[in-house]
Chain A
Amino acid sequence: MTDTGYDEWLAAIADGEGYYLACPDGHGSLPPRRSCPHCGAAELTEEPLPATGEVLTFTEVHVPAPNFADEAPYVTAVASFGPVRLTGVVRDLPADEVDLGTTVSVGVGENATTDERLVVFRPASE
């Protein structure tokens, strides 16, 4: 399945060239998007995604949906990257070492169950 806009965005993150969409007022959002969800502006430009983000909240999921059957238990987190926030699976960091405020970098990984690409957070080298 192809998801135009989203697939290109994931590919860019995988290449270390992640971006977000910015409106003239500086609101951030993620593709695919034709207008700013905060103010409605239609002029969106691609801006570089900050290299690291900060975990805002997280959970270790013990009861997965079938599309994550081979991942459980896994940690899903919401992290802020400047003007946007991303949701992703935390890898290369034990669950008990994830905390609010943990600094992470963003990359792309594969879902072990579906082989689908997904947003992955890893501990940022400080």
Chain B
Amino acid sequence: MTNVRIAGVGLTKFGSHPERTGRDLFAEAALAAREDAGVSRDDYEEIFYGNFMGELAEKQGHQGPVMAEAAGLDCPATRYEQACASAGVAFRQAVATIRSGAADVVLAGGMERMNNLGTAEVTQSLAIAADELFEVRAGVTFPGAYALMARAYFDAFGGDSEDLAHIAVKNHANAMQNDYAQFHREITVDDALESPVVADPLSLYDACPITDGASAVVLVSDDYAERHGLDAPVSVTGSGQGGDKAALQDRPHLARTPAATKAADAAYADAGIGPDDVDVAEVHDCFTIAEVLALESLGLYDHGEGVGAAARGETTRDGDLPVNLSGGLKAKGHPVGATGTAQVVEMTKLLRGDHGNSDAVPDARVGVTHNAGGTVASAVVHVLEVDR
């Protein structure tokens, strides 16, 4: 099977850009990735693109060809929609395409434009990732759904809001060194605990912000990288995806995310590694409790142990297993359909040594990215390894 290498990565600054069109955002990220890769325009064979709510935000369906044009490329382009895991599944398809031998050079990425909608409409738009008949009509918002999981977690395993606050504090601190992050502002545990309640037990600082942004990754086969003398030390060695019932009410356990466990197990088996081999992780912390569920599903912590990891200093910058050195969705921002590949961009830079936080993981060889859709009815996990 062909080894897949990451030849180039690109991001826009994440933040509030209500005046910038989606095509403008994606163009910036894609051109940055193309420049980083140094691959001839004619060699791009396919584009895999993630977007969640383009019909609502910009009245634009059929975004594939629009974004190919924006990226300055002339090749087939397909949009993948899987809620917050949209770019994760797009990336997974890109990896599969190169592995199959069907292409040597592809671009994977994603974009979301959200701030032009306003908070109320964004809340409504995000809610469509939940089950419309059985959750949305019963008042379940996106934060509300994670609040249901957080309360179930506290009940089943313990932990409290203060544990979650430490996760927010950690991710804000990590974002200070990331030029592309939405927030460059350290917060304290008290700040987090005193922020307004959104859906109890979650408050404002448990939640990721509303973000505009785009991300892109150029993937090439080993053979292509060698023939063209590309500097591409990071490989994608494992890929996995898992699914679950759409509605929380239909799952046997409300404080676990088995879709992510399935995705992780598959990605680890694919890469021939286990959780003990992971040096650094970028996980889907759309809410602080989501980081906990991710760490436990990835097998990095036992059920019930993940909630205290940040408070104990284990997943902080100086800990044994730094998590979300990018700032995570919490502080880096969460342009929904761009997040999956943004995690890959951040991890690639961390492993290559050109990230603002690379000095926290100078010897890291194995990184894992975890991207979740909805309340983890979908999950995609990738293993990245760097030549050392």
Give A contacts to B, CB under 8 Å. 3, 6, 29-30, 37, 56-69, 71, 74, 76, 78, 84-89, 100, 111, 116, 118-119
Question: Given A37-B250, A78-B148, 8 more contacts at CB 8 Å?
Answer: A6-B133, A57-B149, A60-B200, A63-B141, A66-B124, A76-B139, A87-B138, A87-B248
B155→A87 contact, CB < 8 A: no
Q: Which 7 A-B pairs have the closest CB atoms?
A: A59-B147, A85-B249, A57-B152, A65-B124, A87-B138, A65-B123, A76-B139
A6 contacts which chain B residues (CB < 8 A)? 133
B198 at the binding interface (Cβ < 8 Å): yes
B254 at the binding interface (Cβ < 8 Å): yes
B388 at the binding interface (Cβ < 8 Å): no
Bound complex: CA A111 to CA B140 (Å): 13
Given known A65-B123, A69-B120, contact A57–B151 (CB-CB < 8 A): yes
Given known A37-B250, A59-B148, A87-B248, contact A64–B133 (CB-CB < 8 A): no
B337 contacts which chain A residues (CB < 8 A)? none
B245 at the binding interface (Cβ < 8 Å): yes
User: A120 CB to closest chain B CB, in angstroms?
Assistant: 9
Give B contacts to A, CB under 8 Å. 119-121, 123-124, 127, 133-141, 143-144, 147-149, 151-152, 155, 196-202, 245, 247-250, 254
B197→A62 contact, CB < 8 A: yes
User: A47 CB to closest chain B CB, in angstroms?
Assistant: 17
B119 contacts which chain A residues (CB < 8 A)? 63
A62→B199 contact, CB < 8 A: yes
A63 contacts which chain B residues (CB < 8 A)? 119, 123, 141, 143, 198-199
Among B144, B200, B247, B248, residue most surrounded by chain A Cβ atoms (within 10 Å): B144
- Contacts A/B (CB < 8 Å), 22 sampled: A3-B133, A6-B133, A56-B152, A57-B151, A58-B151, A59-B144, A59-B202, A60-B199, A60-B200, A61-B143, A61-B198, A61-B199, A62-B199, A62-B200, A63-B199, A64-B123, A65-B141, A66-B120, A66-B124, A78-B254, A87-B134, A118-B138
Bound complex: CA A56 to CA B199 (Å): 16
User: A11 CB to closest chain B CB, in angstroms?
Assistant: 14
Give the residue of B127, B139, B143 whose beta carbon is less than 8 angstroms from that of A71. Answer: B139
Given known A3-B133, A59-B148, contact A64–B138 (CB-CB < 8 A): no
B144→A67 contact, CB < 8 A: no
User: A32 CB to closest chain B CB, in angstroms?
Assistant: 9
| Closest A residue by C-beta to B118 | A66
User: A79 CB to closest chain B CB, in angstroms?
Assistant: 9
B124→A57 contact, CB < 8 A: no
B123→A87 contact, CB < 8 A: no
B202 contacts which chain A residues (CB < 8 A)? 59
A67 contacts which chain B residues (CB < 8 A)? 124, 136
| Closest A residue by C-beta to B207 | A63
A64 contacts which chain B residues (CB < 8 A)? 123, 139, 141
A87→B135 contact, CB < 8 A: yes
| Closest B residue by C-beta to A6 | B133
Bound complex: CA A3 to CA B134 (Å): 12
A118 contacts which chain B residues (CB < 8 A)? 137-139
B134→A76 contact, CB < 8 A: no
A30 contacts which chain B residues (CB < 8 A)? 134
Given known A62-B199, A63-B199, contact A74–B139 (CB-CB < 8 A): yes
User: A52 CB to closest chain B CB, in angstroms?
Assistant: 16
Give the residue of B151, B152, B247 whose beta carbon is less than 8 angstroms from that of A87. Answer: B247
User: A23 CB to closest chain B CB, in angstroms?
Assistant: 14
| Closest B residue by C-beta to A69 | B120
User: B217 CB to closest chain A CB, in angstroms?
Assistant: 33
B120→A88 contact, CB < 8 A: no
B249→A65 contact, CB < 8 A: no
Bound complex: CA A87 to CA B149 (Å): 13
Bound complex: CA A76 to CA B152 (Å): 13
User: B165 CB to closest chain A CB, in angstroms?
Assistant: 18
Bound complex: CA A111 to CA B136 (Å): 12
Among B138, B148, B149, B250, residue most surrounded by chain A Cβ atoms (within 10 Å): B138
B120 contacts which chain A residues (CB < 8 A)? 65-66, 69
Give the residue of A37, A59, A116 whose beta carbon is less than 8 angstroms from that of B199. Answer: A59
Bound complex: CA A56 to CA B250 (Å): 12
